[in-house]
């Protein structure tokens, strides 16, 4: 078939068999977040462009290359949200959530949009699950959200996830590290990619985030060697707690994350099953962001996980068997079967039947194809006797059963 209108590159259709898996994962997310005390927040699909430029950072790939930005009829520059944290923090401030208590714990499951090269598990329209813990500067808050993520991985049966973690320090102690890094990069500039050469002056930390030049920079200065006393204390305690929680982690001194608002610990969840692009998600602490957006100085930490990639790691279960398939012979039997089916559905029984007028043989073939456990045959004789023929599709055994929804439910469920 020549389909004239096709989906946009970088988007995809999630068909019913996969959508059921998504629903299951999203259900587990809500269950885990409830246990950890996080409330769900839903934010708009688009925001003022300035929100992302100011918070995510002008020199980030997201702002420079990936945002879907447009002008509305009122002449305002709007952007489809490329990430969740700026919108959540904007909602936190605009709705005065800080008045509800010292600590605010939020999670979201939202569609995001980035115009980047589509690849395995990465799309231009994608879904993120994220958590934001606002109001606590304790390293135990970082440990809490990391533990939440690993609890989720366990609940949905995703194994072999490793935490890569680093500390890039606060804005006050990052100056000496930035200077040392720039000095180190000077001799490397001729062999670096054009993006890194450009970032050298504006944001040298972003050079460490470059996948292309990573191998060339293995002996770069380490941010953890330049931490101030407070950041060093925070870092050491977080590492100690993660060890006590038995969460598998690897200290990665090249990890800086690609967003400008991060301060202190940053981290990624990675899986070897995803190939070169192994990150499932990540996050970190952003203690300066809320103040930069007009709020009071407020510490915060959070992460986001790409559900498109996470669902890829979930082992697909066999499709649940349909308890009952109704086969009908003739128009009168079709209507009787339909009415019985609807009564059973209202009682919570999953029932299917053919409504396309196919032959008896074709209906049985479809029931077998769809893995039905039982088939109930209804024809004119069955209607007169008020008894149908119930066939066990696994054993082939047949029996008569009264066309009563209560008795049928008891038999097939």
* Number of helices and strands in the chain (H, E): 14, 16
Q: What is the pLDDT of residue 276?
A: 64
Q: Is 379 helix (H, G, I), strand (E, B) or coil?
A: coil
**Number of compact structural domains in the chain:** 2
CB atoms within 10 A of CB 384: 8
Give the separation between CA 53 and CA 60, rounded to whole angstroms: 9
Token pair belonging to 130: 């994220």
| Integer Cα distance of 37 and 134 in angstroms | 13
Both 132 and 243 in one domain: the answer is: yes
Q: 340 and 282 in one domain?
A: no
279 and 352 assigned to the same domain = no
Distance, in Å, from the CA atom of 340 to the CA atom of 327, rounded to the nearest integer, reads 12
Q: Which domain holds residue 392?
A: 322-412
Q: Which runs of consecutive H residues, i.e. helices, occur in 169-246?
A: 174-186, 194-202, 229-244
Confidence at residue 194, expressed as pLDDT on a 0 to 100 scale? 84
What spatial distance separates the first Cα and last Cα of the chain, rounded to whole Å? 41
Same domain for 264 and 326, yes or no, is no
The CATH number of whichever domain residue 71 belongs to comes to 3.30.930.10
Note whether residue 403 is domain-resident: yes
Pairing of strands 351-353, 300-306: unpaired
* Cβ–Cβ < 8 Å for 260, 171: no
User: In this predicted structure, what is the pLDDT of residue 135?
Assistant: 97
253 and 140 housed in the same domain: yes
On whether residue 191 sits in a domain, the answer given is no
**Cα separation of 252 and 166, whole Å?**
6
Q: Is residue 9 part of a domain?
A: no
Q: What is the DSSP letter of 63?
A: I
The 3-state DSSP class for residue 71 equals strand
pLDDT at 1: 64
**Which residues, 6 or more positions from 258, have their beta carbon under 8 angstroms from its beta carbon?**
60, 61, 62, 206, 209
Strand-strand pairing, 265-271 and 300-306: unpaired
3-class secondary structure, 230? helix
In 3-state terms, what secondary structure has residue 72? coil
Residue 217 within a domain:
no
Write the CA distances from 361 to 98, 281, 354, 366, integer angstroms. 65, 50, 12, 9
pLDDT at 207: 84
Q: How far apart are CA 409 and CA 162, in angstroms?
A: 46
Angle, in degrees to the nearest 10, between helices 85-94 and 49-56: 110
Same domain, 374 and 391: yes
Mean pLDDT split into 10-residue runs, the chain, 413 residues: 83 91 96 98 96 83 87 95 96 96 96 88 92 97 98 94 95 88 86 83 82 82 94 97 96 86 94 79 95 95 95 81 94 94 96 92 94 95 93 94 95 92
DSSP bridge pairs for 376 = 326, 390
- pLDDT at position 309 is 92
Are residues 147 and 241 located together in one domain of the fold? yes
Please, what is the Cα angle at 166 between 144 and 225, to 5 degrees? 130
Residue with tokens 């990430």: 83
Q: Transcribe 317-341 into DSSP letters.
A: PPPPPEEEEEEE-SHHHHHHHHHHH
**Residues 116 and 152 both lie in one domain:** yes
Task: Specify whether 396 is located in the same domain as 346.
Answer: yes
Q: Which of 291, 313, 335 is the last residue of a domain?
A: 313
Question: How distant, in Å, are the alpha carbons of 23, 223, 336, 341 from that of 346?
Answer: 22, 61, 16, 9
Three-state DSSP class for residue 359: coil
Same domain, 265 and 336: no
Name the pTM for this structure.
Answer: 0.87
**DSSP code string of 255-267:** ---S-TT--SEEE
- The DSSP secondary-structure symbol of 304 reads E
pLDDT of residue 38: 98
Enumerate residues 6+ apart whose C-beta is below 8 A from 283: 130, 145, 257, 266, 267, 301, 302, 303, 304
Number of neighbours of residue 173 by Cβ within 10 angstroms: 20
Map tokens 């839903």 to a residue. Answer: 42
- In whole angstroms, what is the distance from residue 210 CA to residue 219 CA? 15
Residue 185 lies in a domain: no
In terms of domains, do 29 and 110 share one? yes
């Amino acid at each position: 078939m020549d389909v004239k209108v096709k989906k946009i590159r970088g988007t995809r259709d999630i068909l019913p068999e996969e959508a059921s898996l998504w629903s299951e994962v999203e259900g587990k997310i809500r269950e885990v977040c409830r246990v950890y005390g996080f409330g769900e927040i839903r934010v708009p699909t688009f925001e003022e462009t300035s929100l992302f430029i100011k918070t995510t950072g002008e020199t980030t790939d997201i702002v420079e290359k990936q945002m879907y930005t447009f002008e509305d009829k009122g002449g305002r520059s709007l952007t489809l949200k490329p990430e969740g944290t700026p919108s959540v923090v904007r909602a936190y401030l605009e709705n005065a959530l800080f008045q509800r208590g010292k600590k605010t714990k939020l999670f979201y499951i939202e569609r995001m949009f980035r115009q980047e090269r589509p690849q395995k598990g990465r799309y231009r329209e994608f879904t993120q699950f994220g958590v934001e813990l606002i109001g606590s500067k304790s390293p135990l808050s970082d440990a809490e959200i990391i533990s939440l993520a690993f609890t989720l991985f366990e609940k949905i049966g995703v194994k072999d996830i490793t935490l890569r973690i680093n500390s890039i320090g606060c804005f006050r102690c990052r100056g000496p590290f930035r200077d040392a890094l720039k000095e180190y990069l000077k001799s490397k500039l001729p062999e670096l990619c054009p993006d890194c050469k450009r970032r050298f002056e504006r944001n040298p930390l972003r050079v460490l985030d470059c996948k292309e030049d990573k191998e060339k920079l293995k002996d770069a200065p380490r941010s953890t060697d330049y931490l101030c006393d407070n950041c060093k204390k925070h870092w050491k305690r977080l590492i100690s707690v993660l060890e006590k929680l038995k969460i598998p982690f690897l200290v990665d001194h090249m990890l800086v994350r690609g967003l400008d608002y991060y301060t202190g610990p940053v981290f990624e969840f990675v899986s070897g099953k995803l190939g070169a692009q192994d990150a499932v998600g990540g996050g970190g602490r952003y203690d300066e962001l809320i103040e930069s957006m007009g709020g009071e100085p407020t510490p915060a930490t959070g992460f986001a996980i790409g559900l498109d990639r996470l669902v890829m790691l979930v082992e697909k279960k066999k499709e649940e068997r349909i308890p009952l398939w109704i086969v009908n012979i003739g128009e009168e039997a079709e209507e009787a079967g339909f009415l019985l089916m609807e009564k059973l559905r209202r009682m919570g029984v999953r029932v299917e039947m053919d409504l396309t007028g196919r032959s008896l043989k074709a209906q049985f073939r479809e029931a077998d194809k769809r893995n039905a456990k039982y088939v109930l045959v209804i024809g004119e004789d069955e209607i007169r006797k008020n008894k149908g023929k119930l066939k066990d599709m696994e054993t082939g055994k047949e029996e008569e059963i009264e066309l009563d929804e209560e008795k049928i439910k008891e038999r097939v469920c």
